[in-house]
Amino acid sequence: MKLLIVEDNRSQASLLCRAFVERGHVVDACHSGEHACQQAQRGAYDVVLLDWNLPGLDGVTVCRELRRVGNNASVLMVSVRSDVADKVTALEAGADDYVVKPVDMHELIARVQAVARRRVAGGPAELRSGAMVLSERERSVRINGAVVELTHREFTLLAFLMRRAGETVSRSDIISHVWSAMGDLGSNVIDVYVRRLRGKLGVAGHRLKTVRGIGYRLDAADVNEEN
């Protein structure tokens, strides 16, 4: 695994680098938001371990910029901020997981490895369902050839549902795979994202079904979906 550690505290960055190098990973480090954006684009990293409080651009801004330019590295945000609103902000910006400081080193390493595994196990680069085409490589969704603008989290949720098309997926599975270990966000977060996704999918939105008491299911396309 190739890892970028973004931490302004140089002694802490050194400690983190040593811990991951000792486990056989390739590790780079930088100490500011601007440097992080530049380095992440050059380095083709599997995971970016990103502190929120950085000089210059903060971690959330860095995360948004990485997603804006199409960087698909898994991002694990680390912060002393523990409010749910802060976690939601980071996840909305495109983070794959969020850890509150102080964090045990063993837990942090396990979280990094978990987001890396999900990235590798993500499945095919392109998913198709009726007139809907989702490209992991381009981070894009098209329906009947028209681009559908989705946030990073909406895109991740749709990709997960498309991989499990036809299956009823539980809320806990969605939280585990789309929001990582962020179960404390509450299942109402899923409801909000599903409603947004339905609206953005237009003619395909009705295929995203709520299965009461269980979760959600993406049904097969019908004849009216394609132009």
Task: Retrieve residue 195's tokens.
Answer: 């409603």
pLDDT tens for 107-141 read 999 999 888 877 655 555 678 888 899 987 777 89
pLDDT of residue 180: 58
pLDDT of residue 196: 92
pTM: 0.58
Q: How many CB atoms lie within 10 A of CB 223?
A: 6
Q: What is the largest CA-CA distance in the chain?
A: 60
Task: Retrieve residue 187's tokens.
Answer: 């299942």
pLDDT of residue 41: 79
> How far apart are alpha carbons 87 and 172 in whole angstroms?
18
Per-residue DSSP letters for 5-57?
EE-S-HHHHHHHHHHHHTTT-EEEEE-SHHHHHHHHHHHT-SEEEEES--SSS
Crossing angle of the two packed helices 152-163 and 84-93, in degrees rounded to 10: 80
Does a cis peptide bond (omega within 30 degrees of 0) precede residue 55?
A: no
Fold of 126-218: Arc Repressor Mutant, subunit A (1.10.10)
For the chain, residues with pLDDT lower than 70 are: 119-125, 180-187, 222-227
Counting Cα atoms < 13 Å in the Cβ hemisphere of 57 gives 18
Task: Retrieve residue 36's tokens.
Answer: 């992080």
Q: Which of these, 98, 112, 100, lies nearest to 181 by C-alpha position?
A: 98
Fold of 2-120: Rossmann fold (3.40.50)
- Domain coordinates of the chain in residue numbers? 2-120, 126-218
pLDDT of residue 167: 84
Counting Cα atoms < 13 Å in the Cβ hemisphere of 45 gives 29
Q: Is the dihedral of CA 188, 190, 192, 195 positive or negative?
A: negative
Residue 147: burial class (beta carbons within 10 Å; 0-12, 13-18, 19+) = exposed
